[in-house]
Amino acid sequence: MTYSHRPVLLDEAVSALLGEVPKQQALYLDGTFGRGGHSRQILQQMSPSSRLIACDKDPQAIAEASLITDQRFQIVHSSFAKMSSEIAANTLDGILLDLGISSPQIDQAERGFSFRMDGPLDMRMNYQEGQSAQEWLATADEKNIAKVIKDYGEERFAVSIAKAIVASREQGITLRTTRQLASLVASVVRTRERDQDPATRTFQAIRIYINQELRDLEEGLKMALHLLKPEGRLVVISFHSLEDRLVKQFMQHNSRVEIPRGIALREADIPKSPLKILSRSKPSSAEITQNPRSRSAVMRVAEKMVQA
């Protein structure tokens, strides 16, 4: 199935990645191919002698990428966090990460990501391997479930939701579908922000845990410093506070150098920071009106300054 969904901050992200004047013979990484919106625009705007490597965990994304016949393009079925095994250090001129879940994934009931449609309780980005949400909820203990929902969903009713999940299991009820889980959560979560479904935070938390999204992000950010050339760009689009906090802290930490108090250094001897922060931006009001799912997006851009 081919999708025509336009990614959030598409023009801004590609412009930030390539710079005002695209480099000659550059090498870029689209770490989250999705349905190829960013990759296709990068291919259109980068120089004819440049190359683009893309990766994704989702088999459907890999199938979509196979439709691109541009000889400058290569797709790898992998998480971006593991791309250091595919790419040599200090060779990339830019890395783009568009985090989270894509609209096509949300809109397919059979993927189990959405509480708005009934489907199997799966939630795996790569549905060919690993533990599904149903399998995890059928075996995890109450304490673990509560911790996941609290830590990854920032859900204040996490303990009550975990108790209800375990209680239903003890009654012989197996949570097999998204609607079953959403209904159970709604029976426990009595209050919620306006326009937010009671199951929103729980579904987010379980999806993040099942796919180890924050672990991949932490590893991927470290990888970026290793793989980028000096003056290479790191562009990251995040959609919730947990992701954005990790990206913000990573960029801030690597954009300054801590010199112990009392040590006098000549200016020439002061070590330079690995990164320079370039910008932070959000979608325009016009984009949010056209695509309400974009309203929470934050794009952060940094540039590698020295070998790291």
pLDDT value of residue 266? 55
Q: How many CB atoms lie within 10 A of CB 77?
A: 15
178 and 219 fall within a common domain: no
Query: Measuring CA to CA, how many Å separate 149 from each of 8, 155, 206?
Result: 26, 6, 7
Q: Is-above-0.85 flag for pTM?
A: yes
Q: How many CB atoms lie within 10 A of CB 10?
A: 16
Joined tokens for residue 34: 């999705």
Tens-of-pLDDT digits for all 308 residues of the chain? 444 568 999 999 999 999 988 999 999 999 999 999 999 999 999 999 999 999 999 999 999 999 999 999 999 999 999 999 999 999 999 999 999 888 888 889 999 999 999 999 999 999 999 999 999 999 999 999 999 999 999 999 999 999 999 999 999 999 999 999 999 999 999 776 777 889 999 999 999 999 999 999 999 999 999 999 999 999 999 999 999 999 999 999 999 766 556 565 555 545 578 999 999 999 999 999 998 889 999 999 999 997 54
Residue 182 belongs to some domain of the structure: yes
Contact in structure between 82 and 215 (CB atoms under 8 Å): no
DSSP run (H or E) holding 75: strand 73-77
CATH number at residue 63: 3.40.50.150
Specify the residue for token string 């379980």. Answer: 206
pLDDT value of residue 260? 58
pLDDT value of residue 103? 82
Residue 57 domain boundaries: 10-98+213-304
Residue 25 belongs to some domain of the structure: yes
25 and 81 fall within a common domain: yes
pLDDT value of residue 263? 62
220 and 286 fall within a common domain: yes
Contact in structure between 65 and 44 (CB atoms under 8 Å): no
Residue 1 belongs to some domain of the structure: no
CATH number at residue 195: 1.10.150.170
148 and 186 fall within a common domain: yes
Residue 28 belongs to some domain of the structure: yes
Look at residues 190, 211, 232 and tell me which one is the last residue of a structural domain: 211
**Domain count within the chain:** 2
Look at residues 175, 192, 211 and tell me which one is the last residue of a structural domain: 211
* 3-state secondary structure labels for all residues of 117-162: CCCECCCCCCCCCCCCHHHHHHHCCHHHHHHHHHHHHCCCCHHHHH
Residue 226 belongs to some domain of the structure: yes
- Name every residue whose Cβ is closer than 8 Å to that of residue 27 and which is 6 or more positions away in sequence: 50, 51, 52, 53, 87, 91, 92, 93
